[in-house]
Amino acid sequence: MRFEEIKAGAVIEGGRRTVTEAEIIEFASRYDPQWFHTDPIRARDSRWNGLIASGWLTCSIAMELAVKSVLADSESIGSPGIEQLKWLNPVRPGDELALRIEVMESRTSRSGSVGIVKWRWILTTQAGVAVLDLIATSLFQRE
Amino acid sequence: MRFEEIKAGAVIEGGRRTVTEAEIIEFASRYDPQWFHTDPIRARDSRWNGLIASGWLTCSIAMELAVKSVLADSESIGSPGIEQLKWLNPVRPGDELALRIEVMESRTSRSGSVGIVKWRWILTTQAGVAVLDLIATSLFQRE
């Protein structure tokens, strides 16, 4: 999608993909080795009633879907940050996550050289439960 | 570290670790396959002057350091989210990232069952350049 197609008010369905127990454990073993992300037995008998994904894996999956659906063929040059990020509910093995993107603002920098998009990314499970809600700013090269 | 040791005003040095080009490309190939994270040649001739890490890898490395230095032997049970997250400067192959944590608030829920910590995590390169600045809330089990 090109920057010019990303207009305020637009809603973009970003596709979906399933998370496995293996991926949850692999990601967390490397970056977030807390027992509720890595130890299915201990997690089962805890307040979490089973393994849950690292929130950073959840964010990474949202990113993966955003790249596939929007950024890959855009003029994207990165992001300065996130304004708000909520891990609303746990992500569990077998969950199929779907990304929905709501474009809040889309404008060009004063110099005209950079496109600036503010958008809300919401990740939802197959049961319709929202698991991630964030507001990001993304930048796009303008010639 | 135990919840009771995490007091407002405390500053925790969270250790450091080096990021390699291989890790930058591997992470991005899976979760953030944009050319400035995956293609060293194209990145070299771009505004970025070389490969830069996915912001989600940067966050994941901050998490890794936070788990090692604070969370691993704590009563941590997860996080509801992030209040602010700034990717201030690019992370490049060979950068050695150091985590500094500033505890902003530490309190117990009204019921007494959960410890709530608000803290600022700042990741800095070996050159003293801040690359990540976030404010997170973390929850701890209280018996």
Residues A7-57: pLDDT tens digits?
Answer: 999 999 999 999 999 999 999 999 999 999 999 999 999 999 999 999 999
8 Å CB contact between A1 and A75: no
Are residues B77 and A47, on separate chains, in Cβ contact within 8 Å? yes
Are residues A31 and B64, on separate chains, in Cβ contact within 8 Å? yes
Residues A81-110: pLDDT tens digits?
Answer: 999 999 999 999 999 999 999 999 999 999
Interfacial B residues in 43-102 facing A (CB < 8 Å)? 47-48, 52, 54-56, 59-61, 63-64, 67, 71-72, 76-88
C-alpha distances (whole Å) from B90 to each of A119, B12, B58 are: 22, 24, 9
Residue B114's Cβ-count burial label (10 Å; 0-12, 13-18, 19+) is middle
- Chain B contact set for A33 (CB, 8 A): 64, 67, 72
8 Å CB contact between B102 and B13: no
Mean pLDDT in residue range B31-55: 97
The pLDDT of residue A33: 98
The pLDDT of residue A4: 95
- Chain B contact set for A88 (CB, 8 A): 80
ipTM comes to 0.97
Minimum Cα–Cα distance from A131: chain B residue: B80
8 Å CB contact between B136 and B118: yes
Are residues A52 and B81, on separate chains, in Cβ contact within 8 Å? no
Q: Name the β-bridge partners of A103.
A: A119
Q: In what order do the strands lie in the sheet with B76-87?
A: A11-18, A96-108, A114-124, A130-141, A76-87, B76-87, B130-141, B114-124, B96-108, B11-18
The pLDDT of residue A94: 98
pLDDT at A75 > cutoff 90: yes
8 Å CB contact between B2 and B12: no
Q: How many CB pairs under 8 A join A and B?
A: 93
Could you tell me if B42 lies within 8 Å of chain A, comparing CB atoms?
no
d(CA A86, CA A104): 17
The pLDDT of residue A52: 98
Are residues A81 and B81, on separate chains, in Cβ contact within 8 Å? no
- pTM equals 0.98
Write the CB contacts of B61 (distance below 8 Å, at least 6 apart in sequence). A31, B17, B19, B97, B123
If one counts every other C-beta atom within 10 angstroms of the C-beta of residue B90, the result is: 19
pLDDT at A143 > cutoff 80: no
Average pLDDT value for chain B: 97
